[in-house]
Structure 1
Amino acid sequence: MVSSSTTISVSCASKKSRSPKPQKKITVKVKTQQGGEEDVYKLGYGTHLNKLMQAYCTKRNLDEGTVRFIFGKKQLKPRSTPAQLKMKEGDVIDIVTDQDGA
């Protein structure tokens, strides 16, 4: 199965710095538990995960309120970063979508 790859970039340069240091990048996989589909995202180690969450929901045409992102058996918070979570290259974030029985 071929997975798609998306790069997420955010400028983290302060106003004082004219030439920011390149931010370390990490590649993570986002995998649905229902269908096993995988997407690959490359983002800065210090980038808030809300960027990845928004990109995933937009790509899959999902409402952000119906999707939970799970890493290490814990639900991810949008303001978390890969650095805070000590993510490694190739780590997998699981997706769980809430489905109403109505």
Structure 2
Amino acid sequence: MMRSSSTSFTSKRCRAPQEKVILKVTNLEDEGIDVYKMGTHVHLKKLMLAYCQRRNLDYRTLRFIFNGSFLRPRQTPA
């Protein structure tokens, strides 16, 4: 007796469109505000690097804080 079976494989890249959020980054020294739009599951390092590049700052010398806690680069907005 022969059995026929089918298996469905889904790629990790084949996801539904992500939700987007708008994040505002405030510089406490000069009260400047930068606005970024990104997916809820994108690592915050991408935002941190973009902010540093826009402000011509060294990424390794900054700390990003949200509600009194330091943000880590591998965290996401979700």
Aligned residue identity for 1:36: E
Higher fraction of strand: 1
| Structure number with higher relative contact order (C-alpha < 8 Å, ≥ 6 residues apart) | 1
CA distance in 2, matches of 1:62, 1:39: 14
Deviation string, structure 1 residues 42-89 (Cα, Å, up to 9, x no partner) = 010111000000000111111111111000101100000011xxxxxx
Deviation >6 Å, runs of 4+: none
The residue that corresponds to 1:29 in the other structure is 24
The Cα RMSD (Å) is: 1.2
TM-score (norm 1): 0.63
- Kindly report which structure 2 residues correspond to 1:1-102, keeping only aligned pairs within 5 A, or say none: 14-15=12-13, 17=14, 20-83=15-78
TM-score (norm 2): 0.82
Percent of paired sites with the same residue: 49
Structure 2, unpaired ranges of 5+: 1-10
Instruction: Give the count of matched residue pairs.
Output: 68
CA distance in 2, matches of 1:28, 1:53: 11
Aligned residue identity for 2:12: S
Aligned residue identity for 2:60: G
Higher fraction of helix: 2
